């Protein structure tokens, strides 16, 4: 019996789908490898609970009826969805590529400005959250690089 998961098969098809040069394929492979091996695989709920506790007053003042866990999950899933294969279709369609690039240029705090009060703080106290955040940022930058490379290949 073949032990490959659906996700692995999809990622292989995803990499083989790209007809462009080796540079584009290598960058896609790098993105997939980062996604597969550097994500922690578990949402950092405990760190978010601590963060909400540590910044109780700021959350009450700036985001009283909001759930940062839901907003972070939305942002994270956007990046991870693209990183696990979703970027392929976005690359091929000029309008989708443009819209995706516009969203990728935005940080979490630009997506959700109500949490901008957190931007200046060091997150090292929240180990899993910080690790996840770094991987997301790394993937976001690689995805931007990939779109730019695609546009160069197409002479845009």
> pLDDT at residue 22 above 80?
no
pLDDT digits (tens, 9 = 90+) for 37-80: 999 888 999 999 999 999 999 999 999 999 999 999 999 999 99
> Could you please report the per-residue DSSP string of 6-63?
HHHHHHHHHHHH--S-HHHHHHHHHHHHHHHHHS-SS--HHHHHHHHHHTHHHHHHH-
Reference 146, options 99, 82, 56; nearest CA is: 82
Determine the pLDDT at residue 100: 97
């Amino acid at each position: 019996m073949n032990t490959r998961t659906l996700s692995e098969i999809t990622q292989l098809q995803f990499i083989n789908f790209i007809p462009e040069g080796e540079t584009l394929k290598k960058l896609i492979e790098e993105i997939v490898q980062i996604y597969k091996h550097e994500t922690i695989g578990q949402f950092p709920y405990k760190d978010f609970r601590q963060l909400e506790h540590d910044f109780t007053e700021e959350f009450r003042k700036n985001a009283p009826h909001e759930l940062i866990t839901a907003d972070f999950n939305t942002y994270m899933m956007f990046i991870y969805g693209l990183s696990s294969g979703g970027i392929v279709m976005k690359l091929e369609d000029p309008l989708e590529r443009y819209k995706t690039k516009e969203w990728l240029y935005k940080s979490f705090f630009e997506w959700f400005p109500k949490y901008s009060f957190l931007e200046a703080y060091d997150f090292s106290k929240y180990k899993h959250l910080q690790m996840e955040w770094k991987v997301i940022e790394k993937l976001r930058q690689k995805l931007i690089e990939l779109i730019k490379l695609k546009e160069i290949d197409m002479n845009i």
